[in-house]
């Protein structure tokens, strides 16, 4: 299990990012935060970071996100003293924490894969951010046409929930897609300038920029293609559980 550690010079910022990330994973990924100093001032504290690490006792490895470079030294000292397997990433604090938390829900996710996804977080805003050498499953892979004999299925749907495929609906979409072994691609038909994306990637799904009223095309190839399309169709038709 991968744990997420959020470090900020501000206690309020650290708590806020932790709250946002926890809303995405509902307790399925351990998340802790450390911000400010013991006397409530702006800064970082090795002791507070160590205390936050204690909250991640179930995590086998820890991905750490920081707000500014000066937090790295405190983070390194506390993490090294803990004896944990860890990585400190230069990913954006807010966006990185959110997508990392979702990626960490994968049962086979590695620390390096979760870190790679976090670094790509700004791509959801249309901003390029080069990933490190290790990429998560399906991230950046070339699209290979399925063999002629492969099972395939396809559907075109109109997204009608209020916010479109933004953070929470995108998470539901990705988690549903990850339940199936087939390859799943999704395209925004109303924004043809956006490339199709891996339906099992939060970043790819958010990059296609689907707003309410826009049409998406989902293509599946491989085992359980029909079941995957049916499940994603139900999710979209039911407005991702929104009321």
48: closest CA among 26, 21, 25, 75? 75
215 pLDDT more than 50: yes
Q: pLDDT at residue 138 above 60?
A: no
- What CATH topology corresponds to 2-125? Rossmann fold (3.40.50)
Q: What is the pLDDT of residue 150?
A: 65
Q: Give all strands (DSSP E) within the chain, no chain letters.
A: 2-8, 31-35, 61-66, 85-89, 152-158, 183-188, 197-198, 215-221
139-169 residue pLDDT tens: 444 444 544 456 899 999 999 998 888 888 9
Residue with tokens 């990637």: 201
25-37 pLDDT, tens digit per residue, is 889 999 999 999 9
Determine the pLDDT at residue 193: 87
CA distance readout (Å), 171 to 36, 98, 175: 30, 10, 6
9 is catalytic: yes
Q: What pLDDT sits at residue 230?
A: 96
**Are the C-beta atoms of 19 and 79 separated by less than 8 Å?**
no
In the CATH hierarchy, which top-level class contains the domain 152-241? alpha beta
CA 87 to chain centre: 16
The mean per-residue pLDDT over the stretch 35-57 comes to 92
Choose the catalytic residue: 9, 26, 57, 166: 9
Enter the pTM of the model.
0.69
Domain ranges of the chain: 2-125, 152-241
Interval 44-71 mean pLDDT: 92
């Amino acid at each position: 299990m991968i744990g997420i550690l959020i470090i900020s010079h501000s206690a309020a910022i650290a708590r806020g990012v932790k709250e946002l990330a926890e809303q995405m994973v509902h307790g399925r990924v351990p998340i802790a935060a450390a911000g400010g100093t013991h006397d409530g001032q702006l800064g970082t504290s090795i002791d507070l970071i160590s205390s936050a690490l204690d909250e991640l006792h179930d995590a086998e490895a820890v991905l750490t996100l920081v707000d500014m470079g000066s937090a790295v030294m405190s983070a390194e000292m506390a993490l090294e003293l803990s004896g944990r397997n860890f990585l400190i990433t230069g990913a954006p604090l807010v966006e990185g924490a959110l997508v990392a938390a979702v990626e960490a829900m994968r049962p086979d996710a590695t620390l390096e894969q979760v870190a790679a996804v976090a670094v790509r977080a700004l791509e959801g805003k249309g901003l390029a951010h080069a990933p490190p050498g290790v990429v998560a499953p399906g991230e950046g892979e070339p699209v290979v046409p399925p063999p002629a004999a492969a099972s395939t299925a396809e559907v075109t749907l109109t997204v009608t929930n209020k916010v479109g495929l933004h953070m929470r609906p995108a998470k539901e979409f990705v988690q549903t897609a990850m339940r199936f072994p087939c390859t799943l691609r999704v395209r925004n038909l109303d924004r043809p300038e956006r490339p199709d994306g891996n339906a099992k990637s939060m970043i790819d799904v958010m990059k296609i920029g689907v707003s309410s009223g826009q049409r998406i095309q989902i293509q599946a190839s491989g085992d359980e293609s029909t079941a995957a399309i049916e499940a994603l169709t139900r999710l979209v038709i039911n407005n991702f559980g929104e009321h």
